[in-house]
Structures are given as C-alpha cells and as structure tokens.
Structure 1
Amino acid sequence: MPKRTSPKDAQHVEVADDLDDIVTDKREGWRATAAKARRRQRRYAKQLTHELTRMARHNEDDA
C-alpha cells in the first residue's frame, strides 16, 4: 500500500504541475464513491499548498 500524502512532501514540489503527481490517497480504491475520493484528493492538495506558502514565507523572513 502506498504511503499517504503528508505536508513534508511539499519540499518535493518545484512547479505547480508536480502537485498533482505528489498527491496520493492510499485508500482511493476503498472510497464509497468517486466523489468522496476527489474530495479527499482536494484536501491533500490543499494541505500541500498551505505548507508551500508557509515555507515560502519562512524563506522570505530568512532572506
């Protein structure tokens, strides 16, 4: 079973298209409906986007 997406994976994102490749739901096949799987994927993407903005702010503060 693949690992679940975590905010630590944000450091592997270089361009916005990488976000779709990194976001994975290890239980995608177990979801009751496709809509619930898409909803979960959006949640993972939102977590990574939030972490990316936090990292960017942190880098600006250090510079």
Structure 2
Amino acid sequence: MHIKVGKPWSMTPSGNQYKYVLFSKNKIYVNPKTGVVTAYEEGAAEGRVLDKNGNVIAIWYITAFK
C-alpha cells in the first residue's frame, strides 16, 4: 500500500477484536487499537493485523511518499 506522508490510512480488517503492529526504521506509526497508520517521513513499513488470540490475519507492506 502506498500512503502519503501526513495523511492517515487505516489497515483492514478493522474492529475492536483486532490488534495492530507495525515494524519500520522510519517515522511511520500505527495506533495499536484503531489500526490508523500515519507517516511523518518517507520510508517503508510492515504492518500486521492480529486477532484476539495473536494470530496474524493480514500483513500490509507500506511505502510512504511525499
């Protein structure tokens, strides 16, 4: 997924039963409860959506651009 720096984007699936994790060396962050990703600089990240048991439901590869 390509996202614009400074513009929030939501990982899917979404809902209270999911937890969100993001791995990045850049200033790209995720709200662990809502799944909203925001990039503060260009770069790349891997986001994961986990169910309540900790199983990976979805993996997102994210690149942020200006």
Query: Which structure has more strand as a fraction of its residues?
Result: 2
Length-normalised TM-score, structure 1 = 0.27
Larger of the two Rg values belongs to structure: 1
Query: Which structure has more helix as a fraction of its residues?
Result: 1
